[in-house]
Amino acid sequence: MRVAIVHPWFLAFGGAEQTVSALADIFPTADIFTLYCDKKTLPANLRDRKFITSSLNRIPWRYTLYRHLLPIYPYFFESLDLRGYDLIVSSDSCLAKGIITDQDATHICYCHSPMRCLYDQYREYLEDLPPVVRSIFGFTSHYLRMWDFIAAQRVDLLIANSKNVAHRISTYYHAPSEVIYPPVQAQKGYIHPEPGDYFLTVGRLTTPKRVDLLIEACNRLKKRLIIVGSGRERRKLQSLAGETVHFEGYVTDEQLAELYARCRAFLFAADEDFGIVPVEAQSYGRPVIGYGHGGLLETVIEGTTGVFFKEQTVESVMEAILHFETIEGTFHPNMIQRHAKEFDESLFKMRLREKSLSAMKKKASAPLVVWKRTRLAEETIEKKENVV
C-alpha cells in the first residue's frame, strides 16, 4: 500500500506539525508532500523521510511571504502529483484538502480547523489589514471559500481535532466529521515535589495567542511570568513586559519539562481549536488558568484541573489569577495528570489507524454498493413493466 501525507508547510514546529509527526509514525513508509519545507524545523523522526515540495519552496523570503500567497495556494495544492497512492492523509488548516487524488484512492482529512481567517475570524482579520490589502483580500477570500467548500466535498472522511472544530466543519462545509483528539505526549509528564513560584506560558508569539493579556495582567499583579517560545510578535511583547516577566525563547525538551513541572499554573489566553500545550502542562500535574472558550472547554475541567476566565481582557485574566490563588491548595497533581493521559499520543495513533482501515474498506466496497443500487433500480423497473 502506498501512503502519502500532505501538510501545508514545515517552517516551524507547532501542534499541527506534532500531529504530522505522529501520522508519520503510524505510516512509516509514507511520502510527505508540502508546499514549503525547512528541514531545520523537523523533528528527529521526520528528517530522513522523503519530502516532495512544490516549486514555491525555491522562492526567496518564503518565511516572510508564505502568509501573503494564500490566493494562489489552490493551484499549488492541486499541482501536487499524488498519482499511484492508495491512501492520502491531509493535515489541514490551510486548504491542503484540495489535493487531486486518483479515483480509487482513499483521502482522509485530519482537519485542525476550516481556515479561520476565511470563516469564523474573517471580520477580525479583515479589520487588521491596510485598506488596499483589505479590498484585495475581501475579493479573493470569496473565491477561496467556494474552492475550499468544494474541496471538502471530495474528501472520503473528515476527522476533526475537537468537538469545537467538528461544529465548524458542520457549519461551513455542511459535512459530517468524526472527532479524534490530537496527539499529546502525556506519558512523558512527571510530578515535581517542589513547584516554583512562577506562572508559565508556552507557544508561538503571534497575535491570536493573546500573550499581551497575560503580560499586562502579571505586570499589574506583580506576578512572575516565564514565556517560552518565539515569533513575529516577540519584540512588541518584550516592549510591554515589566520586571516580573521573563522571555526564555526556545528551550530544550529537558528545560521545558522542568519549567512545566515546577510552575504554579499554566496561563493560556488563546481561543484555540484544541490547544496541545495546556494538556502538556496538565501531564505534569499543573493546573491551567485559561480562556474558557473553544477547545479548552474540552481539555480543562474547571475547579478540578484549572480555572477559566470568561473574556479576553486583562481584567478577566487578573480576576482568574486571583481566584486561582484562593483555591490553589485544592488542586491534586495526580488527578490532573490522570486527566491529561486521556489525550495521550498512543490513543491518537490507535484511533487514526482504525479509522484509516475502516475508510479504505468502505471506499473499496463503494463500487459494489453502486452496482447493487443500480441493479435494484433495474429490477424495480422490470417489475413495473411486467405489471403493465
Taking the domains of the chain in order of start, what are their residue ranges?
A: 3-183+345-373, 186-343
96-138 residue pLDDT tens: 999 999 999 999 999 999 999 999 999 988 888 888 888 888 8
Residue 207: pLDDT over 70: yes
Q: What is the pLDDT of residue 378?
A: 53
Q: What is the pLDDT of residue 86?
A: 96
| Inter-CA distances, 312 with 72, 270, 272, 293, 318, Å | 33, 8, 12, 10, 11
Domains 3-183+345-373 and 186-343 are alike in CATH topology: yes
- % of the chain at pLDDT higher than 70: 94
Residue 373: pLDDT over 60: no
Which architecture does CATH list for 3-183+345-373? 3-Layer(aba) Sandwich (3.40)
Q: What is the pLDDT of residue 95?
A: 94
Which architecture does CATH list for 186-343? 3-Layer(aba) Sandwich (3.40)
* Dist. CA 105–CA 229, nearest whole Å: 39
- Per the prediction, the chain carries an average pLDDT of 92
Grid cell of 130 as nine digits? 491596510
Largest Cα separation within the chain, whole Å, is 91
Q: Averaged over 278-297, what is the pLDDT?
A: 97
* Dist. CA 218–CA 264, nearest whole Å: 13
The three-state secondary structure class of 189 is: coil
Q: What is the pLDDT of residue 164?
A: 95
